[in-house]
Structure 1
Amino acid sequence: MDHTASTSPTEVGRRIRSLRVKLGLKQQDLASTDISASYISLIESGKRAPSDAVLTALARKLACSPEHLRTGLDDHALEDTRLKLSFAEMALRNGDNGAALQSFSELLANPGPLDAPTLLRARIGQATALEKLDRLEAAITVLEELRKEPALVPGSEEWCRVSVALSRCYRNMGDIALGIEIGERTMAALDGLGLDVTVDHIQVGSTLIGSYLMRGDLTRAHLLAQRLLPVAEEHGGRAGRGAMYWNAGLVALSRRQLPEALALTERALAMMAEDDNLRHVANLKMNVAWLQLRSDHPDPEQARKLLHEAAQTLVEVGTAVEQARCEINLVDAHMRLSHWDDAVHHAQRALALLSSGPRIEAISARIRLAEIHLLRGQTTDGLQTLHAAARQLSHFTPSYETANEWRHIGDVWKRQSRAKEALEAYDQALQATGMPATYDPAHALAEQHQR
């Protein structure tokens, strides 16, 4: 439906006149101390566009809603549409992402009863559902279209949601550079509004810090966390403060400050435990467990309990990738407890969850599966699985994440006394961090001999 045409002054005036005549009223009957009869005449002729306050006053006298005068839509149809939209948004909050996507898509397939604000909410909801279902390319298509909407005003809540989601989707698709570029442009736009640091800054900053960490840009991540954490502490809600402590914990972890990282992440979990965002809480439990497994005094049993709690929640409200990450952490916990069968089970579950496309997490699961095979004396299976992980990893764009996986592969080869394979993996890890090989003087000597 063309909302611009339906809300033009001429169309609004025509609807007001039609209803007035139908009710047997004169222009003087619509007039008041604030609205003259001559002004009513100008509105009806389309020469003046009524303000929201005038439209509300006229709607009361014409026994209809302001939305009906503005758009011409039937009030019952509008109410039914709003109920459907509320149902879709509730399904999204409860983690029923498939049902939410179906409801949003049905609304958008027949946008006739949707006014402009409702249409915008439905499109943002559709993009959110697609992202949560890990359909990132489809989500990006919707978000890119939304970003071009004139109604999406920089600084508005909807603009911030779309910008943050787009940055996050590109990052999770593997285009970390574009994700960071969008996040930095969004942060610069917020700064350009001349406001103090706001909750919107915190939302954008949380995503941007995560992207910096994925790129290995620890200094920028640390500086941004230092800028935003005091503001989150003073002005943010529990969820906003929890998100910032979560990211500060990730920064501390990247700087190898494990005790500080664990303390910050546990504080984030305490702040967000009372929040109704079950997905965030589950991810925080997973982070705390991950840190517990890597602290100086690991507690694999406590980590296992936290991860099982997180897994139960993520099955209901998490994405497939988040569920797979939880399964991989459960592999680590069970390996520390020497529960080999359980570790294999969780590694296979992670791979099944990631079957829809190439993911760095699938490589993590395969490396762990190879380790278990080798520890149990299943050498052939272990070596085949490790080679498969290395082949798959070679197709990924070099990054901080791929460097970590190459290092892990190298360590497994080293423990098997396979020096050649270990050195090759370590070399790949160095190249992924952007560190080139040193110049070989023997090459120059060989060239001189050839001359």
Structure 2
Amino acid sequence: MDHVEGISPVQVGRRIRDLRVKLGLKQQDLASTDISASYISLIESGKRAPSDAVLTTLASKLRCSPDHLRTGRDDHALEDARLKLSFAEMALRNGDNGEALQAFGELLAKPALLDASMLLRARIGQATALEKLDRIEAAIPVLEELSKDPALAAGSDEWCRVSVALSRCYRNMGDVTLSIEIGERALTRLDALGLDVTVDHIQVGSTLIGSYVMRGDLTRAHLLAQKLLPVAEDKGGRAGRGSVYWNAGLVALSRRQLPEALALTERALAMMADDDNLRHVAMLRTNVAWLELQSDHPDPARARHLLEDAGQTLAELGTAVEQARCELILVDASTQLGQWDEAVSHARRALGLLSSGPRVEAVGARVRLAEIHLLREETYEGLQALHAATRQLRHFAPSYETAQEWRRIGDVWKRQSRAQEALEAYDQALQASGMPMTYDPAQSLAQQGHG
């Protein structure tokens, strides 16, 4: 959106005349070797539209900015808005997301004070702050509007940020199909520009790999990761390369190639360790810790150390969901170390962080609580937690994530020698992963006999 659009030469001319009169100047005083007094008269009467060069010359004599002559915006108000925008963006980088959101909102409440580039930065900042505050349902409409803005040119840095954020938000809301459609559409638009694979491809592609993995489409995820890895090595910055290795690690993990997954994620962490995006580094430490616990020779002490470092950063910069995921892996590390009281505390903290809305991670916290209670032979409490997790999980749409939680619930029932409950959970896991029930000929025969 550009506030200069639609402004007539009459308005520009009137502003020039009013300023000239206010300063006690004559038309001749504005004239120069390139601009005659008669031309000044035509501009002031609205019969000529001045070029940018002419406006710049006139603005210097009228003691204002060219933008003020074009739009009428107060120069002091514009400078104040620039300072406020810089403050909001700094607050966002420092993890003061609430403060940033308030500042962006105040700026957007008076859009006439912003030029086109400032308005775009404020809208993107608002969406980013909403996402970081886990207000994803509020962030999506802002990102949708931005994605349809004709001023957002495909291939620009802002376009890439919006495309990636929109795909990521839909994925985090559980709409993996739409997330993938957005990512694939963005890659198609980049390809249509006729460029070689760029850093933008890396950013969009990394997000798309994560969505493929969440849907269970491991072949596409693997192929895209293989395509992006050499490009990332050649063209990507350390953060960009780290992002690709991060997502390639997710692919390897989903294919149960744990040593490869750990190696790829460790490499991503090494690449991004010096990056100024501390939140991403903390999330990577969380991933490495989780993979460490899944390996053939786990080191829960090292995992806990990584998670404690990550937790401190995420407490300042991360979303509630990211903090909760860190707490859940701390549950696993503490359990492996036999520190059950700590494990329970971490699980309850995770539930507290997830109390604002329905999250699959909350199911994971309850299942872990059930496991700990059962390990401590607190059977009643364990079964209560397990039943609560089961009831909550039934409200979620089928997905790769819900299939994992159903599998975990089934495993807990199996360890309790509760075969019927285990079979029901495993059946739910199969259905959530997209594998329907097989045809039952006995049921068909029974229906025919009834008829």
C-alpha distance in structure 2 between counterparts of 1:333 and 1:18, whole Å: 72
CA RMSD of aligned residues (A): 2.1
Match of 2:177 in 1: 177
Question: Per-residue displacement from partner, 1:233-272 (whole Å, max 9, x unpaired)?
Answer: 1111111111111111111111111111111111111111
C-alpha distance in structure 1 between counterparts of 2:33 and 2:246, whole Å: 57
Call closer, same or farther: CA 1:418–1:272 in 2, change over 3 Å. same
C-alpha distance in structure 1 between counterparts of 2:449 and 2:388, whole Å: 41
2:129 counterpart of 1:129: yes
C-alpha distance in structure 2 between counterparts of 1:309 and 1:88, whole Å: 27
Call closer, same or farther: CA 1:407–1:42 in 2, change over 3 Å. farther
C-alpha distance in structure 2 between counterparts of 1:225 and 1:27, whole Å: 67
Call closer, same or farther: CA 1:338–1:76 in 2, change over 3 Å. same
Match of 2:154 in 1: 154
Long gaps (5+) in structure 1: none
Match of 2:100 in 1: 100
Alignment of 1:76-225 (within 5 A): 76-225=76-225
How many angstroms does 1:112 deviate by? 3.4
Call closer, same or farther: CA 1:111–1:413 in 2, change over 3 Å. same
Match of 2:253 in 1: 253
Question: Per-residue displacement from partner, 1:285-307 (whole Å, max 9, x unpaired)?
Answer: 00110111111111110000000
C-alpha distance in structure 2 between counterparts of 1:148 and 1:41, whole Å: 41
Call closer, same or farther: CA 1:60–1:227 in 2, change over 3 Å. farther
C-alpha distance in structure 1 between counterparts of 2:434 and 2:325, whole Å: 26
Identity %: 78
Call closer, same or farther: CA 1:420–1:251 in 2, change over 3 Å. same
How many angstroms does 1:6 deviate by? 7.2
Match of 1:405 in 2: 405
8 Å contact from structure 2 (residues 179, 211) kept in 1: yes
How many angstroms does 1:448 deviate by? 5.2
How many angstroms does 1:161 deviate by? 1.7
**Greater CA drift, 172-181 or 425-434:** 172-181
Number of equivalent positions: 450
Match of 1:276 in 2: 276
Paired amino acid for 2:213: L
8 Å contact from structure 2 (residues 167, 178) kept in 1: yes
Match of 1:382 in 2: 382
Q: TM-score, normalised on structure 1?
A: 0.94
Match of 1:26 in 2: 27
Alignment of 1:332-343 (within 5 A): 332-343=332-343
Match of 1:352 in 2: 352
Call closer, same or farther: CA 1:247–1:25 in 2, change over 3 Å. farther
8 Å contact from structure 1 (residues 367, 386) kept in 2: yes
Q: Secondary structure at 2:377's aligned position in 1?
A: coil
C-alpha distance in structure 1 between counterparts of 2:407 and 2:116, whole Å: 52
How many angstroms does 1:64 deviate by? 1.9
8 Å contact from structure 1 (residues 6, 12) kept in 2: no
How many angstroms does 1:227 deviate by? 1.7
8 Å contact from structure 1 (residues 71, 115) kept in 2: no
Match of 1:232 in 2: 232
8 Å contact from structure 1 (residues 324, 349) kept in 2: yes
C-alpha distance in structure 1 between counterparts of 2:270 and 2:2, whole Å: 48
Question: Per-residue displacement from partner, 1:204-253 (whole Å, max 9, x unpaired)?
Answer: 11211111111111111111112222222111111111111111111111
C-alpha distance in structure 2 between counterparts of 1:39 and 1:375, whole Å: 89
**Greater CA drift, 164-173 or 93-102:** 164-173
**Greater CA drift, 319-328 or 119-128:** 119-128
Paired amino acid for 2:358: P
How many angstroms does 1:447 deviate by? 4.4
Call closer, same or farther: CA 1:49–1:281 in 2, change over 3 Å. farther
How many angstroms does 1:20 deviate by? 4.0
**Greater CA drift, 344-353 or 13-22:** 13-22
8 Å contact from structure 2 (residues 3, 112) kept in 1: no
Paired amino acid for 2:288: V
8 Å contact from structure 1 (residues 6, 70) kept in 2: no
Q: Secondary structure at 1:84's aligned position in 2?
A: helix
Question: Per-residue displacement from partner, 1:138-175 (whole Å, max 9, x unpaired)?
Answer: 11122222233232222222222222211111111111
C-alpha distance in structure 2 between counterparts of 1:52 and 1:217, whole Å: 53
**Greater CA drift, 198-207 or 128-137:** 198-207
C-alpha distance in structure 1 between counterparts of 2:385 and 2:33, whole Å: 81
Paired amino acid for 1:239: A
How many angstroms does 1:32 deviate by? 4.5
8 Å contact from structure 2 (residues 27, 37) kept in 1: no
Paired amino acid for 1:419: A
C-alpha distance in structure 1 between counterparts of 2:308 and 2:169, whole Å: 27
8 Å contact from structure 2 (residues 4, 71) kept in 1: no
8 Å contact from structure 2 (residues 27, 40) kept in 1: no
C-alpha distance in structure 1 between counterparts of 2:21 and 2:15, whole Å: 10
Call closer, same or farther: CA 1:155–1:2 in 2, change over 3 Å. closer
How many angstroms does 1:110 deviate by? 2.7
8 Å contact from structure 2 (residues 311, 326) kept in 1: yes
Match of 2:418 in 1: 418
Call closer, same or farther: CA 1:95–1:17 in 2, change over 3 Å. same
Match of 2:293 in 1: 293
